[in-house]
């Protein structure tokens, strides 16, 4: 009689289930310093652990780090993924957010993904209104950059040219974006075009929770680069430099 010894196969089904549980329970840190409202979010699976926002100022590093540190203390295991909004946006605050995200990704051995500011506002708008919403960002002085939902690139215009531009695109009924209050007031739209109420826009936490990380951009070498509409203007100090 022949020996009918069978090789014990690894329990692939169990491994698959464990992997699915881990992915479902993944911890994601989101950071946005690309607009006038700084945001930090910490997500575990589909649950919001932290969702904080505040009006940005010139001391963002001093404010962001304590919030991020406090958020990280809420979880027992390390962050799996970091999502950073990498611009366009103001030079200093954007650089702070991207540098912080890259540093944390390296220190925590976490994957890092980026969403640009155009995508951020598109995702923030209710789905049924996305195809009728244009996004406007500050673009230096009295200029703005406006992006239509079906276009891949934006158009830089003087704030007085925006109304005429929108008249050519009658499908646009809403505006989302980030411009200074004075500039927002100076821009004129047709009567049927209005700014989205902030309450109708999704928070960073809701956006991070809803995106499919598998379809997001993961940069080479796990390092995100900030994106600007214009080359940053760095004012040279007039003080004498001693070498």
pLDDT tens digits, one per residue of 42-82: 999 889 999 999 998 877 778 899 999 999 888 877 899 99
Q: Give dist(CA 55, CA 39) in Å, integer.
A: 9
Average pLDDT taken over every residue of the chain? 86
Closest CA to 92 of 130, 135, 60, 134: 60
Number of Cβ within 10 Å of residue 195's Cβ equals 14
- What's 198's DSSP letter? G
Q: Give dist(CA 79, CA 75) in Å, integer.
A: 8
8 A C-beta contact, residue 219 and residue 114: yes
| pLDDT in the model for residue 220 | 85
Paired tokens of 7: 């090789």
Whether this prediction's pTM lies above 0.75 is answered by yes
What are 95-125's pLDDT values in tens digits? 999 999 999 999 999 999 999 999 999 999 9
């Amino acid at each position: 009689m022949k020996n009918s010894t069978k090789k014990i196969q690894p329990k692939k089904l169990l491994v698959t289930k464990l992997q699915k549980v881990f992915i479902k329970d993944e911890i994601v840190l989101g950071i946005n310093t690309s607009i006038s409202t700084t945001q930090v979010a910490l997500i575990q699976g589909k649950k919001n652990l932290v969702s904080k926002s505040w009006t940005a100022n010139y001391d963002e590093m001093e404010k962001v780090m304590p919030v991020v540190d406090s958020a990280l203390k809420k979880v027992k295991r390390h962050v799996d993924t970091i999502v950073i909004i990498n611009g366009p946006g103001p030079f200093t605050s954007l650089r702070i957010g991207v540098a912080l995200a890259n540093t944390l990704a390296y220190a925590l051995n976490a994957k890092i993904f980026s969403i640009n500011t155009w995508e951020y506002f598109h995702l923030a708008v209710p789905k049924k209104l996305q195809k009728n919403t244009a996004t406007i960002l500050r673009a230096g002085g009295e200029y703005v950059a406006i992006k239509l939902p079906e276009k891949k690139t934006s158009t830089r215009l003087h704030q007085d040219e925006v109304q005429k531009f929108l008249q050519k695109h009658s499908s646009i009924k809403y505006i989302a974006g980030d411009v200074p209050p004075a500039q927002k007031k100076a821009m004129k739209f047709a009567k049927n075009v209005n700014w989205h109420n902030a309450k109708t826009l999704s928070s960073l936490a809701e956006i991070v929770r809803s995106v499919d990380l598998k379809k997001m951009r993961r940069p080479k070498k796990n390092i995100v680069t900030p994106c600007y509409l214009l080359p940053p203007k760095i004012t040279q100090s007039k003080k004498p430099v001693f070498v």
